[in-house]
Amino acid sequence: MTKKLTILGSTGSIGRNLLEIVAQFPDRFQVRALAAKSNARLLAKQVEHFSPQVAVVYDAESARALYEALPDNHPVTILTGEAGYFEAATISEVDTVVTAVVGAAGLLPTLAAIDAGKEIALANKETLVMAGDLVMKRAAAAHVRILPIDSEHSAIFQCLQGQRRADVDRIILTASGGPFLNTPPEKLVTIQPADALDHPTWRMGSKISIDSATLMNKGLEVIEAHWLFNAPLDAMKVVVHPQSIIHSMVAFRDGSVIAQMGIPDMKGAIAYALSYPERLPLKQPLPDFAALESLTFGKPDLERFPCLALAFRAGKTGHTLPAVMNAANEVAVDAFLNERIPFLKIPQVIGAVMDRHDVVTDPTLTDILAADRSARRSAQTLIDA
């Protein structure tokens, strides 16, 4: 059967990798909608190649740019803004919606897709960080499957195949440690965006690259895994594994540990989410174990990388605090990328915004979105001060 796809975030790192897989298996996948924010040139190329019926960009200016970048009389329907993303996420004949936009922008279209009964291939971890309880409940109510694209979550998902949840003792997420794993504290003071964007093992978008450098990415992933696998925060462990060959592990109550391995490349995880439970003949290289010589493991340094501790705190508190942490992180990362704050200010801003937040228990979607907005204002005020 050909799976019909909507790809939200098609011009990003995940989106581009995913479209390579779609191009490799044209009999298996058809693209019905592509959505980006403003990269009209790349989106136009993707539209020409994959012939979706709908293409979405954020605003009218990007829509004009997309229209001009396409050949005359191209039949694609160009839509804009929230309404456009919703329409793309709910096209009736689409089977799977891939959520590969970055940040909080992923939440509402993902919820719309769930409510429309679409299977979700989820890269956008911020969706579950902000509103994991609500999203998982809506998915259960709509009998919708959420298949992880994040490599750690794909690994955990793979390790859990054929296992009883009751037998799981703990989930062990591996972290590369990012580009500053061995950087002494005094050198962290002067880090520039270009240094932080230079990840040793993964090629990714700018926001997730900075999150990897602060270890916030691992914190977001811990919360994401907590919701995806219905596992308590206390059962989540993080281990630093700089080679990124083991993508994550699950430990069982008899002392067995199952690990999922592969080269550090997102294609395997993306393909598994698209073709589950089948595996596609991707022709990916295997890890060259003999050449690797050793796989190493260590403890994350929560003093040098306080974002991971902040994320555990947010996850354990729950309710609106993870959404607040996520929003403050987005604003702080953007400020760092624009050289408005130094690297070490990122966790300070997030921590201060979390401290100021009055947690709303059992939040509705409206409460979560209000917490997100207020945290953004609060973070911006701290940055501007």
Ligand X SMILES: NC(=O)c1ccc[n+]([C@@H]2O[C@H](COP(=O)([O-])OP(=O)(O)OC[C@H]3O[C@@H](n4cnc5c(N)ncnc54)[C@H](OP(=O)(O)O)[C@@H]3O)[C@@H](O)[C@H]2O)c1
Q: Cα separation of 184 and 365, whole Å? A: 42
Binding to ligand X (CB under 6 A) within 326-385 occurs at none
* Binding of ligand X by 9 (CB under 6 A): yes
Burial of 252 from C-beta contacts in 10 A (0-12 / 13-18 / 19+) = middle
Position among 91, 101, 114, 172 found at the interface with ligand X (CB under 6 A): 101
CB of 208 closer than 8 Å to CB of 253: no
Binding to ligand X (CB under 6 A) within 129-158 occurs at 150
State in angstroms the smallest separation of the CB of 136 from ligand X: 17
Answer left, alpha or beta for residue 193, where phi above 0 means left and psi between -120 and 50 means alpha: alpha
The residue range among 156-164, 203-211, 293-301, 352-360 that interacts with ligand X, by the rule CB under 6 A, is 203-211
* Binding of ligand X by 205 (CB under 6 A): yes
The residue range among 124-132, 165-173, 189-197, 334-342 that interacts with ligand X, by the rule CB under 6 A, is 124-132
Position among 13, 90, 154, 214 found at the interface with ligand X (CB under 6 A): 13
Helix and strand numbers, DSSP H then E, in the chain: 17, 11
Number of residues that bind ligand X (CB under 6 A): 28
Q: Cα separation of 280 and 287, whole Å? A: 18
Binding to ligand X (CB under 6 A) within 208-227 occurs at 208
The single residue listed with the structure tokens 């409510």 is: 115
Structure tokens at 124: 């956008």
* Binding of ligand X by 273 (CB under 6 A): no
* Binding of ligand X by 126 (CB under 6 A): yes
When the beta carbons of 38 and 53 are compared against ligand X, the nearer one is 38
State in angstroms the smallest separation of the CB of 126 from ligand X: 5
Print the binding letters for residues 160-199 with ligand X: x by CB under 6 A, - otherwise: ----------------------------------------
Coil/strand/helix, residue 160: helix
CB of 236 closer than 8 Å to CB of 173: yes
CA distances in angstroms from 342 to 172, 333, 349, listed in the order given: 31, 10, 11
Residue number closest to ligand X, CB atom = 12
State in angstroms the smallest separation of the CB of 276 from ligand X: 17
When the beta carbons of 118 and 199 are compared against ligand X, the nearer one is 199
Kindly give the pairing relationship between strand 119-122 and strand 96-99: parallel
Fill in the DSSP letter of residue 304.
Answer: T
Binding to ligand X (CB under 6 A) within 15-74 occurs at 15, 36-39, 58
When the beta carbons of 123 and 311 are compared against ligand X, the nearer one is 123
Angle formed by the axes of helices 125-141 and 107-115, nearest 10°: 20
Q: What is the CA radius of gyration of the chain?
A: 20
Residues that bind ligand X (CB under 6 A): 9-15, 36-39, 58, 100-102, 105, 123-126, 150, 202, 204-208, 266
